[in-house]
Amino acid sequence: MSTGAVVGIIIVVIVIAALVAAAVVALGALRRARLHRQFGPEYDRLVDERGSRKKAEAELTDRQRRVEALGIHELTPEQQASYSGDWTAVQERFVDTPAEAVAAANTLIWDVMRDRGYPANDRNASMDALSVHHARSLEGYRQTLQLRTESASTEQLREAMIRYRSLFEDLTGLREGRGGPGRDRVAEIRDRAADSANGEPTPGEPAPAPAPAEPAADEPAAARPAAAAENASRTADTPR
């Protein structure tokens, strides 16, 4: 084989190796960008915690696999409507007892997680699972974990409530701008429940029959049967 042919082969091998290396770098950059976009602040937090991007990305990729195996599912419209009403009640409590309302909001979040299939009995596993689909609202929630509600100021409690609401709305699918027809369905269910509580008929159901009229209070009881008999006699004698 001539020297020129050997040189040509070496050049081709070098070019192929360079292209493969460039492809590997490009795929790595795309993967990193995708993980950073999905996990947001959680990505940066884990990089700082693990000390390298490679370790952080390996952990996040593993989290995704674990979450897929959990079978996490969406709430039904009925569950959404029920939790929406619960959250409204919690917010109303904040006016008079803010610390208790914040504690109740936190409990409600974990109730939603349990209903959706999160491993709510394992706090660390649940937090890891939340980071896969709710990383941005989870970041706000993390900021409240060290808050001592019994000694917190009203402003601190208000900020905690806002962060809880963000995660709650993400978990339930009730965030403004999401759900479309699903949100209409939730509103319909809540309205129906409110109507039932107020004694109003549910749309599509017949209204209750009116109660029979009571006899006049000043009419003697003994005269009522006689009057009825007289009316019946007149009806029978009326020519048809």
Model confidence pLDDT, tens digit, residues 92-134: 999 999 999 999 999 999 999 999 999 999 999 999 999 998 9
Rounded Cα distance, 172 and 186, in Å = 11
Rounded Cα distance, 151 and 153, in Å = 7
For tokens 């000043």, what's the residue? Answer: 218
For tokens 């896969």, what's the residue? Answer: 132
User: Do 67 and 56 touch, CB atoms closer than 8 A?
Assistant: no
Residue 82 has pLDDT above 90, yes or no: yes
At residue 16, the pLDDT reads: 80
At residue 100, the pLDDT reads: 94
Residues 6+ apart with CB under 8 A from 80: 172, 173, 174, 182, 186, 189
Q: What is the pLDDT of residues 142-165, one digit of tens each?
A: 989 888 888 899 999 999 999 999
Phi, psi (rounded to 5 degrees) for 205: -100, 145
CB-based burial of residue 67 (10 Å sphere; 0-12 exposed, 13-18 middle, 19+ buried)? Answer: buried
Q: How confident is the model at residue 219 (pLDDT cuts 50, 70, 90)?
A: very low
Helix (H, G, I), strand (E, B) or coil at 34: helix
Does pTM top 0.75 for this prediction? no
Q: How confident is the model at residue 37 (pLDDT cuts 50, 70, 90)?
A: confident
Phi, psi (rounded to 5 degrees) for 26: -65, -45
At residue 46, the pLDDT reads: 87
User: Do 153 and 161 touch, CB atoms closer than 8 A?
Assistant: no
At residue 209, the pLDDT reads: 54
How is residue 21 annotated by DSSP? Answer: H
Q: How confident is the model at residue 8 (pLDDT cuts 50, 70, 90)?
A: confident
At residue 26, the pLDDT reads: 64
User: Do 109 and 132 touch, CB atoms closer than 8 A?
Assistant: no
At residue 232, the pLDDT reads: 45
Rounded Cα distance, 106 and 161, in Å = 9
Selected residue with higher pLDDT from 37 and 108: 108
For tokens 């029920």, what's the residue? Answer: 82
For the segment 194-207, the average pLDDT, to the nearest whole number, is 52
Residues 6+ apart with CB under 8 A from 38: 132, 135
Rounded Cα distance, 193 and 187, in Å = 10
Residue 80 has pLDDT above 70, yes or no: yes
* C-beta neighbour count of 134 within 10 angstroms: 16
Least confident of 45-49, 159-163, 207-211, 232-236: 232-236
